[in-house]
Amino acid sequence: MKREFRDMLKERGREELPQVLLVSAECAPLSKTGGLADVVGTLPKALKKLGVEARVITPYHRVIKDKYFGQTEHMFYFYTELGWRREYVGIEKLILDGVTIYLVDNERFFNDRIYRGDRAELEQYAFFTRAVLDAIPNLDFVPEVIHCNDWHTAMVPMIARTQYRGCMQEGLRYLLTIHNIAYQGKCGFAQVQDLLSVEDKYYTPEFMELHGCANFLKAGCVFADRINTVSPSYAREIMTPYYAEGLDGILNARAAQLSGIINGIDKAVFNPHSDKSIPAHYDRGHLRGKAVCKAALQERMGLAQRPEVPLVAMVTRMTEQKGFDLVTAVLDEMMSHEDMQFMLLGTGDARFENFMREAEGRYKGRLCAYIGYSEELSHLVYAGSDFFLMPSRFEPCGLSQMIAMRYGSIPIVRETGGLRDTVIPYNQFTGEGNGFSFANFDAWEMLAVVRTALRCYGNKEIMQGLINRAMQADFGFALSAQEYARLYIWML
């Protein structure tokens, strides 16, 4: 155990590191729609290396059942009360890469999409909250910190503290990590009462009411012992009205309990030296393989086989968060004046998907819009592209830019949240930096920076330096895990 941890524990009159249970709607590689899954999948592995036992509890989604059925061990089942309904809860156990994952089984709530949207999604995760709380005392594991993630699991501390007094172990602590404040789980109070039997007295601005709605994430911010988010910059940003989506009041009130811990990526999964999803391997000093990947990507996606042309890529959820308004505003200007190729892998809002499909028609052979989700293709896009565009309106952390850098694809980002904390803008005078960035949420500012990046592409020396520094950056999870371990100990 690290000496620092031993000293911290000693101050608290104990010797062992705390046991942690992560509660999450998704967990890679079992179920994934975005970065939350990656973080919940990777953090326990990194914590284990530090001696912290962290386990995960997550829904037994259809996608998991399809792939892992037969590999899970049935632990126990019971019936729980969701308001007036009696619902089955099965607890299955799966051990993956040395990490124990508890799967909450219920065919009614988890038999199709991870997120059903609207009211159905609230029901799914109200059920999950109840099932988790009922299951905890019966697990073969005694957690001391319950680590909740985003609004889907943010009601756990409140329900535990108001309805489970005496049922849970003494001194149990709750951490809430905000991965994305834009989604809060808002609904009418009657629905929360109906599903989770919350007493009237909690429907006030002091507890879970915000702007006339019941708000799951706010309840989490009020009742968790500590709150953190996924980068130091975003932790500061969400204390301001522009980024906080209404939660700046409670977050300022709890500023002393709020911190930012930058995420990392799984360096074993995202490794250009050994990645099974790419046709050739490479590393910092030997980039020939990257050229092979670029040719393979061009061929597979119907882009002209031109090694000398810069290829700009995006791998993303297609939402306003990711800056698609900027892309749609200047894509034509960019494509018609620059000798470049553009590759998009993404899915999301129909208006953005349609815009990109149409653009593909206008720029055949130069622009490919692959509308869909493909883990395997994403690796080839990171490896085969020269630049990675991520002009987010807000970005709590962002994993894509870190993955891109690891594959030597130079990020072009807006200076916000975790993008600001991970991308160092290129400085032509000192030669420092590992990417390009712009400050304002402005399409023309983005375009100007894209143009600067494309000019640099023409200069081998500059490009080589950028790739070198980008691939050198250490975005592994080890440092993040250390910070989480510190936070857990601190909470005891």
Amino acid at residue number 436: F
Q: Are 318 and 346 in contact (CB under 8 A)?
A: yes
Q: Could you tell me the smallest distance in angstroms from the CB atom of residue 261 to ligand GLC?
A: 10
* DSSP string of 105-128, one letter each residue: E-TTTSSS-S---HHHHHHHHHHH
Burial class (CB within 10 angstroms; exposed 0-12, middle 13-18, buried 19+) of 186? middle
Provide the token pair at 327: 């892309």
Q: Could you tell me the smallest distance in angstroms from the CB atom of residue 381 to ligand ADP?
A: 8
Among 55, 179, 226, 294, contact with ligand GLC (rule: CB under 6 A): 179
Residue 39 engages ligand GLC in binding (rule: CB under 6 A): yes
| Beta carbon nearer to ligand ADP, 378 or 434 | 378
* DSSP string of 135-171, one letter each residue: HGGGSSS--SEEEEETGGGTHHHHHHHHH-TTTSPTT
Residue 230 contact among ligand GLC, ligand ADP, none, beta carbon within 5 to 8 Å by kind: ligand GLC
Q: How far is CA 103 from the centre of its chain?
A: 20
Provide the token pair at 207: 């507890």
Residue 262 engages ligand GLC in binding (rule: CB under 6 A): no
Residue 346 contact among ligand GLC, ligand ADP, none, beta carbon within 5 to 8 Å by kind: ligand ADP
Residues 388-417 within binding reach of ligand ADP (CB under 6 A): 397-400, 403
Stretch that binds ligand GLC, among 13-21, 35-43, 52-60, 366-374 (CB under 6 A): 35-43
Q: Could you tell me the smallest distance in angstroms from the CB atom of residue 53 to ligand ADP?
A: 26
Q: Are 138 and 90 in contact (CB under 8 A)?
A: no
Burial class (CB within 10 angstroms; exposed 0-12, middle 13-18, buried 19+) of 138? exposed
Residue 398 engages ligand GLC in binding (rule: CB under 6 A): yes
Cα(380)–Cα(287) distance, integer angstroms: 15
| Beta carbon nearer to ligand ADP, 19 or 319 | 319
Q: Could you tell me the smallest distance in angstroms from the CB atom of residue 348 to ligand ADP?
A: 8
| Beta carbon nearer to ligand ADP, 26 or 121 | 26
Residue 344 engages ligand ADP in binding (rule: CB under 6 A): no
Residue 396 engages ligand GLC in binding (rule: CB under 6 A): yes
Residue 346 engages ligand ADP in binding (rule: CB under 6 A): yes
Among 8, 9, 29, 34, contact with ligand ADP (rule: CB under 6 A): 34
The strand pairing partners of 315, in sequence order, are: 345
The contact set with ligand ADP (CB under 6 A) reads: 34-36, 38, 315-317, 345-347, 373-375, 378, 397-400, 403
